[in-house]
Amino acid sequence: AQSVSQHNHHVILSEAASLELGCNYSYGGTVNLFWYVQYPGQHLQLLLKYFSGDPLVKGIKGFEAEFIKSKFSFNLRKPSVQWSDTAEYFCAVIEGLSGYSTLTFGKGTMLLVSP
């Protein structure tokens, strides 16, 4: 079974700092990759996704992520965070070709942005 690892459980940044959240997965074949965000008290929303093509994908609210196949990584970045980015961030992976696999989530990274 595939696994997803998010390296940081908690990250604290000041406004305007740059953000990079790590995500690594275990499956070596074709994968579809996602980053979801959960704002306090809310449900998960999609930030961005990668299926194929340009490994640098841009999402909503200025977020982007880079797929590096050789490193099995899909790290999330934002050049300058805002207080409103305080949330929990989840990386998720699904095997692209298997007809039976399901989405696997990482354990999440809680981001706190101080004003």
Partner 1 sequence: NAGVTQTPKFRVLKTGQSMTLLCAQDMNHEYMYWYRQDPGMGLRLIHYSVGEGTTAKGEVPDGYNVSRLKKQNFLLGLESAAPSQTSVYFCASSYDRIYEQYFGPGTRLTVT
Q: Which residues bind partner 1 (CB under 8 A)?
A: 9, 32, 34, 36, 42-46, 49, 51, 90, 94, 96, 99, 101-103, 105-108
Least gap, CB of 14 to partner 1 (angstroms): 25
Query: What distance in Å separates the CA atoms of residue 105 and residue 94, rounded to the nearest whole number?
Result: 9
Least gap, CB of 20 to partner 1 (angstroms): 19
**Residue whose CB is less far from partner 1, 36 or 63:** 36
**Residue whose CB is less far from partner 1, 16 or 112:** 112
Helix (H) or strand (E) holding 57: strand 56-58
CA-based Rg of the chain, rounded to a whole angstrom? Answer: 14
Query: What distance in Å separates the CA atoms of residue 76 and residue 85, rounded to the nearest whole number?
Result: 13
